[in-house]
Structure 1
């Protein structure tokens, strides 16, 4: 057989899979194809975007409401929203949400920082949209009250939080407290239904 005939009749890819040439070709093809895990990163990035978006919205609403309270409501008469059932009344809170734990400001500052760290770690395996919303609410609320702890008087991570929503026969709170409570309730509901942050379901 001539050299030209051998060139024509010999395929580019060896037909025998056991030959070294075939193994090398197979390895090259497997390296060129994307890994199965590569496609899983996109859903996680979308869930993290939801988390950050919800957190930013909760934080912005809380911050703007507190700016309004400090400039327009503090040292003024309370505003009746729903008669005597609900009013806006500016107070400075040294405790936790809804006024609990007065005198433990530095403790709640540390707790808020811990919550933020935990949420950041959970986000690395976040594939559930409801969990992203819940964690975003917690994150935005924690940042909202932490901002007060850091920057408001008396300072030194012991700043007093601005509260203003005052229902009748209930503690005065702010929008950050509301975000934390809603986010926490959603996490309890998701856990009760067996939904994990990675999107899988478990059965107790």
Structure 2
């Protein structure tokens, strides 16, 4: 039974990753054909808009001179995330890992196949967050994955505190519960 549960969690992580990567690539294709690098289309005033940016680096264009290194790091992250997905201990953990995996895959696809060269491609960004930075759906999935994993870990730790307190005969208030 444990093997089947683990297999199901792995399938959930892979399905989430596939959906994220497909949506990311589809929205990037739309952005490439319909948006400009010079003009921003406001969605929520100055808070959120659409504007095309081709990013050789990571977040905030960091590492733009070493795009090939970012590609290798992305491939390494994919490998580690697939291993983590195979070991996911809960459904929420599988969803979080799937979000991370899909986000990394989406951006690595750009790095591998987008101009200017194989393995050194620029990531297509189009979600303009004020004047802070421009990102894409892969970046949103990465952030969401971190939040899901953090909340899952927090919930798990709270459950363990409650279990430990109950075993020791401690009330929720004494254990730090609400």
Superposition map of 1:126-165 within 5 A:
126-165=88-127
Q: CA deviation at 1:182?
A: 1.5
What 5-or-longer segments of structure 1 have no aligned partner? 1-38
| Alpha-carbon separation, structure 1, partners of 2:66 and 2:131 | 24
Task: Tell me what 2:44 maps to.
Answer: 82
Q: Give the strand-richer structure, 1 or 2.
A: 2
| Alpha-carbon separation, structure 1, partners of 2:29 and 2:138 | 13
Residue 81 of structure 1: SS of its match in structure 2?
Answer: strand
The alignment's C-alpha RMSD in Å is 2.2
**Alpha-carbon displacement from aligned partner over 1:12-60 (angstroms, at most 9, x marks no partner):** xxxxxxxxxxxxxxxxxxxxxxxxxxx2221112111211111111111
Contact 2:56/2:121 (8 A) holds in 1: yes
Q: CA deviation at 1:192?
A: 4.0
Task: Tell me what 1:110 maps to.
Answer: 72
What is the aligned length? Answer: 161
Task: Tell me what 2:149 maps to.
Answer: 187
Point out the structure with max Rg over C-alpha: 1
Q: CA deviation at 1:175?
A: 0.6
Say if 2:136 is the partner of 1:174: yes
Say if 2:87 is the partner of 1:125: yes
